[in-house]
Amino acid sequence: MARTDVDPAEVGPGMFYFFLNSVVVPRPIAWVSSRSPSGVDNLAPHSFFTVSSVDPPIVQFTSIGRKDSLKNIERTGEFVVCLAPAAMIEQINASATDFPPEISEFDAVGVEREPSLTVAPPRVAASPVALECVLHSTVSFGVSTVARRSTCSSRSLASAATSGAGSARCRRSPASALANGQDITRRRGARRR
């Protein structure tokens, strides 16, 4: 087997980005919704997305550049990661357009919202999975910023399939809930806005 060696310093970041995209596969798309402090709902796809920890439950995505999603999340501390269903590929791609911050991608590309249970940003109504998240931390690397979130609740395929639509809360130990700054005494089912 012959290999080709690629030196990031020689090919530059643009070409190395395409190289990484072609070898780190498959990559699920995190369709991230956030809300600006002025109440504008943002929706953008992020292809650098993964699970960071199971206990506490933490997922992360990378923002290449300082996009509205990242700015909103840093300002409000909340977001929702929606699974990007293949049937919505046109809207997913359209939501990647660089709209001005005062324009909601939900409205601009015709994506139906539904209220979240524990955070202010809405979910994508047609998404089979939505992870409602509270920001844990961000880490910057060059032009990229990794946003790590602690998941609050998830709408799972199993609950959607058995009950039509439902929610299942992630169980967390008191230590991890306190470490993430959450009130573990909040009544189950209470909405926070």
Distance in angstroms (rounded) separating the CA atoms of residues 146 and 13? 17
Q: Tell me the pLDDT tens digit for each residue of 149-189.
A: 555 444 433 223 222 332 223 323 222 222 233 332 233 33
Q: What is the pTM of this model?
A: 0.71
Neighbours of 181 (CB within 10 A): 11
Sequence spans of domains, the chain: 28-178
CATH 3.30.70.2750 fits domain 28-178: no
Q: Tell me the pLDDT tens digit for each residue of 95-136.
A: 999 999 999 999 999 999 999 999 999 999 999 989 999 988
DSSP 8-state symbol, 26:
-
Backbone CA torsion sign across 96, 98, 104, 109: negative
Distance in angstroms (rounded) separating the CA atoms of residues 80 and 74? 13
Neighbours of 111 (CB within 10 A): 24
Note the helical H segments in the chain. 8-23, 68-76, 89-94, 105-109, 157-163, 174-179
